[in-house]
Amino acid sequence: MAEKYVVIANKLEIELKKMRAEGKMKLPSEQSLALQNSCSRQTVRAALDILQKAGLIEKRTGSGSYIVEESKKNKTVFLITEDRDRYLSPLLISGLRSELASSKYVLRAFSTFGSSKEEAKAITHAINEKAAALIIEPVRDLIPNANDVLIEEALALRIPVIYLNSTEGPYGVVHITPDYRKAGKTLTDHLNDLGRHDIACIFCSDTSAGMDEYKGYIGAVSSFDEGRCLLISHKEEKEIISGNDGILASFASDVLSFCDAVICQNGMIAHRLVSLLDKSGRKAPDDITVACFDNGYYSSNDSILSMGYDNDFFCRKLARTVSALAEGSTPKMFVIPTAVKG
């Protein structure tokens, strides 16, 4: 059960909206709030401290506590991703920045390059600046993260935290993600409809996105054989994308020689695989269908069958969620619909 002062802080946060709507800016005195909540002034003071640290109220010596004017509230939204210049990130950043601007919010993007320390620096920066909201695209969300403590600190300070492309995270985080499980099933069903029944797969084992796609694949494949499944770590994925094709080449030689389709977690892996298959004399999509979940330029490659989502819709939904959270609403997890392209 939450401490009394936390309960009072939550209650007061709701009251602040009503007061602002009625044009009232000054809060009742500590003594009055203590009587209303049947508690001590010390408890009320602790509750007010939470709201002050969150940038919702300001205390004026000898006068009392007041709601912070809208013009004084931080309108900066922090986006933390692995690499803001990599592949899909520019599409997200550009679209989100445009959508947020209509609500007078400013977007700042930070790259972690997969480093927990860099992520911690960016989160700490957001906390120190009392950011309007914090958006994180976690790299390995199935692996315990020491930065969860910082996320909890941000949430305690009333900084909304949104996780993208993830269903895992500390309590209180809002999730916005495509339905990866459905994507895995839909792609597998689509391949079966095309007459491809010997379907292999390549997914990341330390991300919820990869494991959700894998679950969808398992539920739809006509005959499951774990020998056709290559589960890789985020580190191995980065090595494959950077051109170290050892793992991928071995899988293509040993497994894909008798498969007529393969589902890859993303377009970058699919692109590397198509190149390897081409060198071995197997052409995609004629000899083998290479499919993936992709929302960037690989989705326009005729050699790759892809599934994706509407980026404009994604950015609109994300911007509206950010605005609602920054203004005190409590949206829940939202799943972005997907569809096979082409």
Tokens of 64: 């009392």
Query: Which CATH number is 124's domain given?
Result: 3.40.50.2300
Statement to judge: residues 299 and 331 lie in one domain:
no
Statement to judge: residues 201 and 256 lie in one domain:
yes
Statement to judge: residues 64 and 131 lie in one domain:
no
What percentage of the chain has pLDDT greater than the value 90? 51
Q: In what order do the strands lie in the sheet with 339-340?
A: 229-232, 199-204, 261-264, 289-293, 304-308, 339-340
Encode pLDDT of 321-336 as tens digits.
Answer: 998 888 777 766 667 7
What DSSP string describes 245-282?
-HHHHHHHHHTGGG-SEEEESSHHHHHHHHHHHHHTTP
Statement to judge: residues 54 and 124 lie in one domain:
no
The residue from 69, 94, 125 where one domain ends is: 69
257 pLDDT band, cuts 50/70/90, is confident
CA distance 164 to 190: 26
51 pLDDT band, cuts 50/70/90, is confident
Encode pLDDT of 270-316 as tens digits.
Answer: 999 999 999 888 899 999 999 998 877 776 778 999 988 888 889 99
Position 91 scores a pLDDT of 84
Statement to judge: residues 317 and 170 lie in one domain:
yes
Which H or E run includes 72? Answer: none
DSSP secondary structure code for residue 22 in this structure: T
The residue from 22, 38, 69 where one domain ends is: 69
CA distance 197 to 249: 22
Encode pLDDT of 157-195 as tens digits.
Answer: 889 999 999 999 999 999 999 899 999 999 999 999 999
Position 2 scores a pLDDT of 65
Residue 164 gets the label, from left (phi > 0), alpha (psi -120 to 50) or beta, of: beta
Specify whether the CB–CB gap between 142 and 206 falls below 8 A: yes
The residue from 69, 91, 118 where one domain ends is: 69
Statement to judge: residues 93 and 186 lie in one domain:
no
Output the CA–CA distances (angstroms, integers) from residue 271 to 163, 202, 306, in the order listed: 27, 13, 11
Encode pLDDT of 188-244 as tens digits.
Answer: 999 999 999 999 999 999 999 999 999 999 999 988 999 999 999 999 999 998 888
7 pLDDT band, cuts 50/70/90, is confident
Position 337 scores a pLDDT of 77
Statement to judge: residues 100 and 112 lie in one domain:
yes
Determine the structural domain holding residue 43 and report its residue range: 4-69
Total count of domains within the chain: 3
Statement to judge: residues 303 and 194 lie in one domain:
yes
Statement to judge: residues 235 and 221 lie in one domain:
yes
- Residue 3, pLDDT > 60, answer yes
Statement to judge: residues 204 and 265 lie in one domain:
yes
Position 213 scores a pLDDT of 95
pTM for the complete prediction?
Answer: 0.81
Statement to judge: residues 319 and 290 lie in one domain:
no
Encode pLDDT of 66-110 as tens digits.
Answer: 888 765 678 899 999 998 777 667 888 999 999 999 888 999 999
Catalogue the long-range contacts made by 241-250 (C-beta closer than 8 Å, 24 or more residues apart).
241/268, 241/269, 241/272, 243/272, 245/272, 245/276, 248/202, 248/272, 248/273, 248/276, 249/276
Statement to judge: residues 131 and 92 lie in one domain:
yes
